[in-house]
Amino acid sequence: MESPRDSQGQPTGGGAAPRPADEARRAERTPLATALAATVVAGNAAGVADALGATVAPSAAAGPPTATVIRGSGRTPDGSAVAKGPAAKTGAAAAPAAAPAVAPGITAAGTIPARTTVLPRVALVGAKPTLVRNDRLRYEHEERLGQGGVGEVLKTRDNDIGRVVAVKRLRPEVRDTGALIRFVDEIRTVGQLEHPNIVPIHDVGVDEHGEHFFVMKYVGGETVESIIKKLAAGDVEYHRRYPFERRVDIFTQICEAIRYAHARGIIHRDLKPANVMVGPYGEVVVMDWGLAKRVHTADAADALARAPGDGIADGPPEPPADLNLTAAGSLLGTPAYMSPEQARGQPADERSDVYSLCALFYEFLALKYYLGEKKTWTEVLAAVISEEPPTASFGSAHPHQPIVPMDLSWFLKAGLAKDPAHRYQSVPAMLNRLARRREGLVPIQCHVTFVKRVNAELTHLAERHPILFTALLGIAVITAIVLGVRALL
């Protein structure tokens, strides 16, 4: 018979002793994990900063040398845990300390319980179904799906439900105060956005090493960035699957997700082809809300990014190795797709997302970056601020596709205006124009759009008044014949 267990799945006093492996894992957890869990649960950003701010330098005093703590990890470079407090700073033996208050979900020993499966499995004992306790790690990582400027996403097996999920966590080298606060904000932001085109969050937790993570739906398929590369390479199958109108449909779904977020006062601030997934069944999902914030409100992580002494660069930011990666620091966003006001370090609003959406759409249609080839961080930012992009139709002489429809070029021109006052003032305004375009009601802005609009109006007339249209068409044909005959005579 299996020994009784408590609510966390651990053996009670009357059962078998804890497994050595479990005890070893608990021994590795540090007081930093306790402080982080307690302060984040309480929503105390200052407490998070205090917990992450401790750094222990090598001691100059006599005795065994003490190790340097890796900032925000609570561990030495070799991965071993270190003590905190005066004893750790001086190298002296640590004195017994009073037991701290225990936060919910944390044991009296100062450790965080391991996430293990809670659902039993069904086994047949003879002909009788029996429930068997199956103690396994809840989440087992299989492979890295990708990483950005501050986070990484892992393909993970959920052993309780028996499904594949995606787990996001901070990259080890960027686990500082601002990054953790922004990570917590991302979890709470995405958790409020329940929309078919926004990736949902399933769970949140702290792993056995005291590192925070959250669990999302695993979205198969590929990114828009990947689709663009294959289209640009001339992949025949991809050109068959993604003609212009299919690309417009995908972009419309992206806009629907952002419209939903804006209606709830949240802007994305990092829209780009790499942050949009297209699933195997045509589903479109906007990912990576790590820079999202409530518009027109102060943001604690942004304040930290602009404040000195918090592990984040002051003044001009360090450029990422890849200009398509998200930048962290005093300049927030991806340089190649940020709006001019973001590039200047000014506050962003909904119109900043409008600009980034159109930069993404331009590349999706023309199969090249909207500002041409840029090699350096400085060139990209200067172009974003002041360089007007070429008209998509005239500048899209791509060997593997026709030119971009002229009405879409005019659509992009309005969305990529450098002055926010001259852009679409909202995503609903963009969606309204795309909806009218589906009906053929494009604005007349050149001779091409004039012809397209006339053709659309004639088509609508034929559908609404077929007899009248037939009569007018007959009169026009007869008139043309008569005029032709007279010209011959």
Q: Is the pLDDT of residue 366 over 90?
A: yes
> What percentage of the chain exceeds 70 in pLDDT?
69
Q: Is the pLDDT of residue 424 over 80?
A: yes
Are the C-beta atoms of residues 72 and 177 closer than 8 Å to each other?
yes
- List, for residues 31-85, the tens digit of each pLDDT value: 444 444 444 444 444 443 443 443 333 333 334 333 333 333 344 434 444 444 4
Helix (H, G, I), strand (E, B) or coil at 280: coil
pLDDT: is 234 or 327 the higher one? 234
- List, for residues 185-203, the tens digit of each pLDDT value: 889 888 999 999 999 999 9
- List, for residues 385-417, the tens digit of each pLDDT value: 999 998 887 665 678 899 999 999 999 999 999
Extents of the domains making up the chain: 22-90, 220-438, 447-488
Strands 163-170 and 139-147: unpaired
Q: Is the pLDDT of residue 234 over 90?
A: yes
Assign a CATH topology to domain 220-438: Transferase(Phosphotransferase); domain 1 (1.10.510)
d(C-alpha 305, C-alpha 315), whole Å? 10
Are the C-beta atoms of residues 76 and 68 closer than 8 Å to each other?
yes
Are the C-beta atoms of residues 220 and 279 closer than 8 Å to each other?
yes
Q: How confident is the model at residue 269 (pLDDT cuts 50, 70, 90)?
A: very high
DSSP state of 108: T
Mention every residue, 6+ apart, whose C-beta is less than 8 A from residue 350.
262, 267, 295, 425, 426, 427
Please state the three-class secondary structure of 384-444 as a single string: HHHCCCCCCCCCCCCCCCCCCCHHHHHHHHHHCCCCHHHCCCCHHHHHHHHHHHHCCCCCC
Tokens 């829209």 -> residue: 271
Tokens 């990259």 -> residue: 171
Q: How confident is the model at residue 301 (pLDDT cuts 50, 70, 90)?
A: low
Run of H or E including 125: strand 121-125
- Name which of 119, 162, 120, 121 is nearest 139 in CA terms: 162
Reported as half-sphere exposure (CB side, CA atoms, 13 A), residue 206 has a value of 24
Name beta bridge partners: 153. 146, 168
Q: Is the pLDDT of residue 142 over 50?
A: yes
Q: How confident is the model at residue 485 (pLDDT cuts 50, 70, 90)?
A: confident
d(C-alpha 133, C-alpha 418), whole Å? 61
